[in-house]
Amino acid sequence: MNGELRDPRAMQLVLELRQNGITDDKLIHVMERLPRDLFVPQAFQARAYENLALPIGYHQTVSQPHVVALMTQSLELNDRCKVLEIGTGSGYQAAVLAPLCRRLYTIERHKGLLVAAEERFKHLRIPNITTRFGDGSKGWPEQAPFDRIIVTAAAIDIPPVLVEQLAIGGIMVVPIGDDQHDQRLVKVVRTDEGTKISDLGWVRFVPFVEGEALEH
């Protein structure tokens, strides 16, 4: 991945992340060197390194950096992990995940967002991301099981289809709640007996939408 010249704004951002409980040094290294302004529309360039969610079109957002960091840290990634991301969006979360895992599979239902994200991955020379245009609610059964799954939109409940695609001992991080003002981020660990669930705190995400992918 390019971006070895560190932006002072990025350095300030990761300092803030450390102060707010992000302790994974490899994750901090990735986020400090990743040009977040590449994933933000021109109108919001001046705010690219603020700890804010920002609109990216199609009624979607690029997540707040602290939430990206918290979700990524909670996945407990290593370089052997095969990861599924539901909701590529701008590609920012994927670009954070990819250097920390073996292979990342990411699904997006808005064709325009996916094409733009693919261009960013190419520009950054990230080789281990495989993309799909489609309905993320179905997961990616041909590639299952996954060691880790991350969902970047709020589901009403933990999606059973995605739990089924999670390896035993695997971890899924997903926001839960049908009201943007009452969503919780949960960590799901699949065990032989079922699932073990931990609450990671309050978040705000766009809704998890099931149905046909959108060409426009």
Q: Please, which residues have CB within 8 angstroms of residue 58's CB and are 6 or more apart in sequence?
A: 110, 112, 113, 214
Q: Of 48, 26, 170, which is closest to residue 98 (Cα–Cα)?
A: 26
CA distances from 108 to 71, 78, 92, 130, 152 (A): 18, 24, 13, 11, 10
In the structure encoding, which two tokens stand for residue 212, read together? 């046909």
Q: Which residues does the annotation mark as catalytic?
A: 63
Gap between the Cα atoms of 31 and 25, Å rounded = 10
Are 84 and 140 a contacting pair, CB within 8 Å? yes
